[in-house]
A and B are shown apart, each in its own frame.
Chain A
């Protein structure tokens, strides 16, 4: 059993993984709905990137002796994919979801630090300073990547407002 602080971090990592599962499922569907060769290529690249991130997260959770959250049998977009614009919109949703989970991962080690005084029954403590720094770097990199990718899709959907002031919110 892990300490309360570790639980918060593990939950955050599981959320990030769940969003990656959705992206790994979603991008092939997005890819076959798109028409532009450049966008199809982008969807393939992003599928590969999310697949790699998913595998790294599963390994990270394994080192924490936690069973990674499994992928759902299927994922659906908020709206049926009737054409390229719907596919772009779903891709944007997938990236915004990823950004949201990374933002949560940014907060989780901070919340864990406030529980630092408590230790689990097996004596495990909340994450140390080195692990906190590592998690924060991971979360920042993920948030920044998801925000930039979301910007790519948003620039196709709404060219005059391709960005959002607070990615992950």
Chain B
């Protein structure tokens, strides 16, 4: 049997008591678990505006596929695409949107066109686009009027919605 010196015995005892004391101290401290609270969802008025924009964009894609030579249609589609980019940029400021768009990006594609391309008559298709533009303009105007002035991003959102509504009104005028 190996002999242990008194110095070794004492140092091991000291080490053991230090570790034991430290462990006891750690156990007595309260443990705080951070509960993961999801951020609030973005305002419905903004997500609805984006949904309208996507629907209009799908309508323009369908109309352009059917009537690529229709004058002015590509320009109007470009406006709608710009609206989507601007709305998306504003929505990025809401943590709830970032969270939901990250988790459902692949499961939330642009809505499909209501009818297959090429089946609508030219005038009916343009008339449908005009009606959709009028409806979207009215809805966006109302969203702009209803947006609370006290909301954190109101100075950004109110003029954006106002400009989009005015643009959609002029679209309806061009398509009429």
Give A113 to B154 CA distance when docked, in angstroms.
10
Q: Does A24 contact B (CB under 8 A)?
A: no
Given contacts A140-B141, A160-B75, A165-B82, contact A110 B154 (CB under 8 A): yes
Give A147 to B168 CA distance when docked, in angstroms.
10
Q: Looking at the assembled complex, report how far the CB atom of A83 sits from the nearest CB atom of chain B, in whole angstroms.
A: 24
Residue of B71, B149, B166 touching A132 (CB-CB under 8 A): B149
Is the Cβ of A160 less than 8 Å from the Cβ of B72?
yes
Stretch at the interface among A28-36, A66-74, A84-92, A101-109: A101-109
Is the Cβ of B71 less than 8 Å from the Cβ of A168?
no
Given contacts A155-B174, A159-B72, contact A110 B149 (CB under 8 A): yes
What interface size band does chain A fall in? 35 or more
Which residue on A lies nearest to B74, using beta carbons? A160
Q: Which residues of A contact B (CB under 8 A)?
A: 99, 103, 106-107, 109-111, 113-114, 132-133, 136-137, 139-140, 143-144, 146-148, 150-152, 155, 159-169
- For the complex of A and B, the 7 pairs showing the least CB-CB separation, nearest first, are A113-B149, A165-B82, A147-B166, A165-B79, A151-B170, A161-B75, A166-B163
Give A140 to B140 CA distance when docked, in angstroms.
11
Given A103-B159, A111-B155, A113-B154, 18 new contacts (CB under 8 A): A107-B159, A110-B149, A110-B154, A113-B150, A140-B162, A140-B165, A143-B165, A144-B141, A144-B166, A144-B169, A148-B170, A148-B173, A152-B173, A162-B72, A162-B170, A165-B78, A167-B167, A168-B163
Q: Looking at the assembled complex, report how far the CB atom of A117 sits from the nearest CB atom of chain B, in whole angstroms.
A: 11
Is the Cβ of A137 less than 8 Å from the Cβ of B165?
no
Which residue on A lies nearest to B75, using beta carbons? A161
Given contacts A162-B75, A166-B164, A169-B163, contact A136 B83 (CB under 8 A): no
Residues of A within 8 A of B74 (CB): 160
Give A155 to B137 CA distance when docked, in angstroms.
20
Q: Which residues of B contact A (CB under 8 A)?
A: 71-72, 74-76, 78-79, 82-83, 86, 137, 141, 144-145, 149-150, 154-155, 158-160, 162-167, 169-171, 173-174
Is the Cβ of A107 less than 8 Å from the Cβ of B173?
no
Give A148 to B163 CA distance when docked, in angstroms.
12
Is the Cβ of B174 less than 8 Å from the Cβ of A168?
no
Residues of A within 8 A of B141 (CB): 140, 144
Given contacts A137-B145, A167-B167, A169-B163, contact A106 B158 (CB under 8 A): yes
Give A151 to B75 CA distance when docked, in angstroms.
12
Is the Cβ of A110 less than 8 Å from the Cβ of B79?
no
Residues of B within 8 A of A155 (CB): 174
Is the Cβ of A165 less than 8 Å from the Cβ of B158?
no
Is the Cβ of A106 less than 8 Å from the Cβ of B149?
no
Given contacts A103-B162, A144-B169, contact A151 B174 (CB under 8 A): yes
Give A150 to B174 CA distance when docked, in angstroms.
12
Residues of A within 8 A of B155 (CB): 107, 110-111, 114
Residues of B within 8 A of A160 (CB): 71-72, 74-75
